[in-house]
Structure 1
């Protein structure tokens, strides 16, 4: 079965130091919203300093960063799964993995960004910065996914979809046109309550374990021993099968 794993980005990112290929184009990305990118760069060129700081989540403008952001089409690029370095990506530890495990992630992972739309793990993108919830207009989160919905619905209509996204991205692009038996959401509980603050870490641990064991179907997934997590059970709703895990101390 074709397995597709949905993952979130992180606020933390690295500055790419190299250009992937001289003639690369952002239009080579599978699901990019060109309208969103143009709106974002227009904002960076014309908005007030206060507005730019709000979008970037900073108190003052870093001129080096601003210059990079204003030239997205010509900026150095890096594979999307290497770009992010937030909590979930630290738990994933991509650079520590062997080549076969990295290939698994390249093949199966889709990262839902808050500017580029959906990125395949191996697709190369430049550094960008949009503070969570601060995008607006054509680069507002919901608008980005409205503009790419037709493409995404087609992409995720087949195979098993395992959703490790944060709630904001599930709301921005809910998977509704799919059988609940093929669409799985993952929930982490601690002392009977849904984990919030540390959920990012456990998503990274979960994805790392899937990749190391090259999981390809539900049977293998449910039999998997995942560090710090214990499988609790499933609940089938109208739109999804919810797989619940208890966090172990």
Structure 2
């Protein structure tokens, strides 16, 4: 089973380890270097905030971007913060639960494409939604490389990404995209919290669901009110709606 997560805007302020080195999915190393170099150049431009879609209050993040090649790193499990990651609680997973997280959780990134929680990376600021000169839209840039790297990994895919990051890889009929509703409406804050809770619950189960139906039964047994919908057409994802009371 793979659990797909978005990154978070909130990140730890700094790392303490050596500069970024070998990462998971080495086939992505070449495109990673291209994005890294393009981000450094873009962060030095006079219009850098506009190019990167950042508010004036985040101007200080530009200096971090320009120093990424030598910046101290920390594990992705410690880098990303915010509601989803607070409820996932990677730091408190131990033993087999932690092993499952290291094996199953994939975090999508505008800069790195996709990483595992053990990968050491520095704090950065780059959304997948950015049109980064000269590479263009990052979701479209990453899609062929990430697809080639991940399509060969077997198993059910539980997709907890936001729409921005879902564009970088579409796993097809073996995947279930999870949506969260309250009173028929999407609630962003609670959706992030619930996705984090679901990811944690799945990592703490000894039994691993292998089909969308098995995933739906497991989450129902855990107390979630869900509706599972088959793909609207071949090669598309299943949809699992979680309805909060």
Aligned in 2, Cα 1:66/1:185: closer, same or farther, shift over 3 Å?
closer
Q: 1: CA distance between counterparts of 2:77 and 2:208?
A: 20
Q: 2: CA distance between counterparts of 1:132 and 1:159?
A: 25
- Residue 129 (structure 1) shift: 0.8
Q: 1: CA distance between counterparts of 2:78 and 2:217?
A: 28
Of 154, 177, 183 in structure 2, the residue corresponding to residue 185 of structure 1 is 177
Counterpart of 2:141?
144
Counterpart of 1:161?
157
- Residue 131 (structure 1) shift: 4.8
Question: Are residue 9 (structure 1) and residue 7 (structure 2) matched?
Answer: yes
Runs of 4+ residues deviating >6 angstroms: none
Q: 1: CA distance between counterparts of 2:73 and 2:206?
A: 27
Q: 2: CA distance between counterparts of 1:18 and 1:136?
A: 28
Question: Are residue 90 (structure 1) and residue 82 (structure 2) matched?
Answer: no
Q: Aligned to 1:105, what secondary structure does the other structure show?
A: helix
Q: 2: CA distance between counterparts of 1:233 and 1:174?
A: 18
**TM-score normalised by length of structure 2:** 0.82
Counterpart of 1:212?
204
Q: 1: CA distance between counterparts of 2:39 and 2:84?
A: 26
Of 112, 116, 119 in structure 1, the residue corresponding to residue 112 of structure 2 is 116
Aligned in 2, Cα 1:56/1:168: closer, same or farther, shift over 3 Å?
closer
Question: Are residue 52 (structure 1) and residue 44 (structure 2) matched?
Answer: no
Q: 2: CA distance between counterparts of 1:28 and 1:192?
A: 39
Q: Aligned to 1:145, what secondary structure does the other structure show?
A: helix
- 5+ unaligned residues in a row in structure 2: which ranges? none
Counterpart of 1:104?
100
Q: 2: CA distance between counterparts of 1:123 and 1:198?
A: 28
Q: Aligned to 1:129, what secondary structure does the other structure show?
A: coil
- Residue 220 (structure 1) shift: 6.0
Give matches, 1:23-34, under 5 Å: 25=21, 30=26, 31-32=28-29, 33=31, 34=33
Of 230, 234, 237 in structure 2, the residue corresponding to residue 235 of structure 1 is 230
Q: 1: CA distance between counterparts of 2:225 and 2:189?
A: 19
- Residue 210 (structure 1) shift: 0.8
Q: How far does the alpha carbon of each residue in 1:172-214 deviate from its partner, in whole angstroms, 9 at most, with x for none? A: 4333xx4x2x221112222233444432111111101111224
Q: 2: CA distance between counterparts of 1:211 and 1:103?
A: 9
Number of residues paired by the alignment? 234
The alignment yields a C-alpha RMSD, in angstroms, of 2.7
